[in-house]
Chains A and B, each alone.
Chain A
Amino acid sequence: MAKIVVDVMLKPEILDPQGTAVGAALPRLGFTFAKSVRQGKRFEIEIDGDATAEQLAQVEKAAETLLANPVIETFTVRVEK
């Protein structure tokens, strides 16, 4: 059994008001480490056995078609053991 993780983030040029709000809230709570914060989405997909190249290609296609909106988002696909 393997877990494929798809991380989706807004493209850098797209305004991320949620990330900005989080970034503004951190110092109010005493956390001063952040220069900036951007918020994204993470999909965890469980599959039987190990991830084959074909399966990963399919996940990439699914990410492009459904999980992310390529007009405003980018994504990465990786396997997590």
Chain B
Amino acid sequence: MKVGVVTFPGTLDDRDAARAVRFAGAQAISLWHEDADLHGVDAVILPGGFSYGDYLRCGAISRFAPVMQSIIKRANEGMPLLGICNGFQVLCEAHLLPGALTRNHELHFLCRDQKISIENTTSAWTSSYSQGQEIVIPLKNGEGSFQCDDQTLAALENEGRIIARYVGENPNGSRNLIAGITNERGNVVGLMPHPEHAIDTLTGPTADGLGFFTSLLHSMVGK
């Protein structure tokens, strides 16, 4: 199983996402932003970082990259796509997911071990978890406040498209404590916290994040 990990100028967590893919037992393929060829990957991860220095808006410039055109096409055909942090921001800017990520309500960049609950276990990236399972993975960003209009919020809630919610105090002001969402089809997932930094307890607070990557293998094996 081949998972593409995209590198934009300024991407930071690409090597960590690739490591998580390998830990889960799949092959990580590096995808350069200028290259529209997806090299036969079965799924794609848009990792965290500060692509284009967060110029203009986070992810606003990355979404127009040549690689994104191919990714959007494949995603609309059902290819599993995970956007982590900056990746989530790119997905929203590209309109593959609704809403937008804005500045943390307390303005500071915040890095903490964050408890979240997994609310949707049917998506391609969360099937390894049990409904309502609480996990702890790092949250680290300055623009993680998920915003959308009331109509979108209602749709997300009613259709069960909230992937994960923050447990406890709202760390950034996100509406309804939303930490991650999915599209209608369940193949595109955007997540603010970083599962790739919780794949073993040597370097992370827990190994709870590995489930996002193993879910992919399970969901692909079924096909």
Contact = CB atoms under 8 A, between A and B. Distances in A.
* A and B directly contacting (CB within 8 A): yes
A27 interface: no
A14 B147 contact: yes
A15 B173 contact: yes
Nearest to B106: A17
Contacts of B160: none
Contact of A17 (B107, B148, B149): B107
Contacts of B60: 66, 69
B202 interface: no
B102 interface: yes
Interface string B103-117: 111110000000000
Interface secondary structure of B, over-half rule: loop
Interface of A: 10, 13-15, 17-18, 21, 66-67, 69, 71-72
Given A17-B104, A71-B149, 17 more contacts: A10-B102, A14-B147, A15-B105, A15-B145, A17-B103, A17-B105, A18-B107, A66-B56, A66-B60, A69-B60, A69-B100, A71-B99, A71-B100, A71-B147, A71-B148, A72-B102, A72-B147
Contact of A15 (B64, B92, B98, B102): B102
